[in-house]
Amino acid sequence: MKIHDAIMSIHNEVVSVNGNTQEDIVAKDINGNTVNIDWTQVNAWEDPNQYKHDRLNSYPSIKDQLDMMWHDKQNDTTTWEDAIAKVKSDNPKASE
C-alpha cells in the first residue's frame, strides 16, 4: 500500500503500520512504541519506483511483442524497438 510505503520510507524507525487511512493508521517502532507520523511529508511522498509500475502497465503483451519482432525481421522495420522506446520515454526513471 502506497501510504504504508511512504511512512516506512520517511520514518526509518517504523517496523509496522496498521490501518488504511490517515485517521486510523498506527505506526510502531521495534519496541512497540507508537511513532508520530509527519503527514505533510507522507502526503507529499512520491514513490521512486512508480515508473516501474507505469511501464509494466504500458508495455505491449509478450505475444504482441513477439509478433512485432517477427514482422520487423520479415519487413526490416523497427516497430518493436519503437514501441519499447515509447514506453520508456513516456515513463522515465525518477533519476533520468
Alpha-carbon distances of 55 from 22, 59, 92, rounded to whole Å: 29, 6, 9
Q: Give the Cβ contact number of residue 69 at 10 Å.
A: 13
Please state, for a pLDDT cut of 70, what percent of the chain lies above it. 97
pLDDT tens digits along 17-35: 999 898 999 999 999 999 9
Tell me the domain boundaries of the chain.
2-44, 50-90
Q: Look at the pTM and tell me if it is higher than 0.75.
A: no
C-alpha cell at 1: 500500500
Cβ atoms of 38 and 25 within 8 Å: the answer is no
Task: Give the Cα separation of 72 and 68 in Å (integer).
Answer: 6
pLDDT of res. 2: 87
